[in-house]
Structure 1
Amino acid sequence: MANRFIVEADGGSRGNPGPAGYGAVVLDPATGEALAEAAEYIGTATNNVAEYKGLIAGLRAAKALDPEATVAVRMDSKLVVEQMSGRWKIKHPDMKPLAAEASAVLPPSQVTYEWIPREKNKHADRLANEAMDAGKAGKQWSAAGSSAAVSSRGSAESLASLDEEAEPVAAPVGWAAPADLGQPATFVLLRHGETALTPQKRFSGSGGDDPELSAAGRRQADSTAAALAARGTVQAVVSSPLRRCRQTAETVAARLGLDVHIDDGLRETDFGAWDGLTFAEVRERHPDDLDAWLASTKAAPTGGGESFAAVARRVALSRDKLITRYAGRTVLLVTHVTPIKTLVRLALGAPPESLFRMELSAASLSAVAYYGDGNASVRLLNDTSHLR
């Protein structure tokens, strides 16, 4: 049976015509998961050309995942939606070849079109603005200099196709009028409880032995569950797939009467050959690699590990997906040191090296609120009062 995908696409021009770019994302309609992304700076062009370019890139990304898939395209461009649906004639000479190119990507019988308001097309809009920002800085969003479908599921091959210069977008400074001060999506960020490796300060990532909670970790999970139940604000629970997080999440969710949903993007960094080692042991065995890792978030641990820059892109994809899914609600994310620090860093607009300047204790609570206008507010960091 063929897959079903949602493609959301957008394009923009700062000047119309002016510096232009597009963005597109392929979504799983059942889960809302971002399966692929595409974005590109296309130089000087009009808004309509950029919109069509985004559509073409989104359809190609969907086709790369499954050429037999049925695709529901959602865009905030009334022009593109109506023209591609056949309800409006295409008169402009610049639009005709682009519409023909879009029609040729997949058989028309596999594609439907729907107009959506701009505020419901934020993921694609963000990608388009990332591409334009990169172009303004003389860089490219994608490694190949053109649109690139990128799996958000985090395989090494997919992540390697991303431009190492591409930094996930942080929250904007201030508000673009009118400000959205409505009910935000609030992430309560819970680091999992202790494992046997935690007190020894050993690297414990997603590529190691997947340790379970220790007796101390189970007690921490119980204390956290009691504290969150007393507050009564958590409406959903999402966890990293790793066992220590799932055990922590299940303890809390049982107390709250909720189910646990798994998001693979919340897993910890893969520390490669360093997993299970102390910092001193890594310093002794891999001194040059460690120095490079401490000097740049683009450097990966020895043995095929994952750089913090790659983790940031993965976490940003999950962030955007979860903000959409839990708009206006409070959700508990049970995850690890690096994803939590990354979410806080991006919310603050802090530089990548700030990851090394934050402390996160086992079973600590942090919180970030995300508003409809794209702004974020860090409300709590490394609170352990519930454990005392």
Structure 2
Amino acid sequence: MSVIETDEQKQLRAAVAGLAKRYNYVDYVLPKARKGEPLTELWREAAQLGFLGVNLPEEYGGGGAGIYELALVQEELAAQGCGLLLVVVSPAICGTIIAKFGTDEQKQRWLPALADGSKIMAFGITEPDAGSNSHEITTVARRDGEDWILRGSKIYISGVDQADAVLIVARTEDAKSGKLRPALFIVPTDADNFVKTPMEMDIVEPDRQFTLFLDDVRLPADALVGEPDAALMQLFAGLNPERILGAAMAVGMGRYALDAAVRYANERTVWKSPIGAHQGIAHPLAQCKIELELAKLMMQKAAVLYDSGDDFGAAEAANMAKYAAAEASIKSLDQAIQTHGGGGLTREYGLAAMLGAARIARVAPVSREMILNFVSQHSLGLPRSY
């Protein structure tokens, strides 16, 4: 396993960074976010350049690379403050699941459109009462002739207003045992009895969150992704990329904050020397740099393991990467604000507005406590606590 990047990967980083600089946080993202508008122009141009579908199969219009390359794209976008939340969802989760488990018709219908960004697919797993316990999901799919009927609700579903469909995690009844088991369904956002309600969030973000209500939504037989028996495997095939891409976004945001702090610390002069010459400023920033690099290495390890087919190794590394990246990102942003002093709380720099967005990484797509549970149980072999 190597995380020494190839010339192609380095060129991809440079190309994404060049695009991201034109859609930077202060001039583009923050004004959009304050108005609750999605980053449509950035999404379209990133798609046209092939960045959004870099991980999807070439035969369906993708780049034929892996999650490593998609994480690289996300990191470089976020390093300019313009990370795309729906990259985590549409190509990383949904695109991966359909590419691995979808029928030929589902692949033909969705993958080219996900790759070129002309269609977006959101992902719906979280429910009001289930929380992190996916075994308690109550959204149920039942047969009605050849059709499926979905009933249930979802919460904290990102970007539904931009999406053409939502990949919904539901449960179907096993005819032999009568027990419910997970299954994934592609639900068009314009389906009858599919209701999306915006949630009032108290953070400055361009992508909105929604509560979904599925009140007997009727779907054709081919809405079911792959085989019902493979649903759990399908779900984990999407969740590991989700954690890796979430870590990449957090690392990128941390880089953005650290760059802003270093720039200010070099420019701001007090008592005839730049404030960055003082250890009280320099050492905390150096510590942030170290912790960001360590988180990035774990994220790269997780991506390499995933792309090599080591699902268990990828799950462990992806969880660790997501934890480490969240902590490093928040710390870097907080230290950047401190370095700027009162300026760190002004609109001019936009750092305070970013703090809420960075804080999401401790909660979603999986909380830091659930990651610690995973590491305790699977990495350390301690007894299960729940």
Confirm or deny a common fold (TM above 0.5).
Answer: no
TM-score (norm 2): 0.24
TM-score (norm 1): 0.24
More helix by share: 2
More strand by share: 1
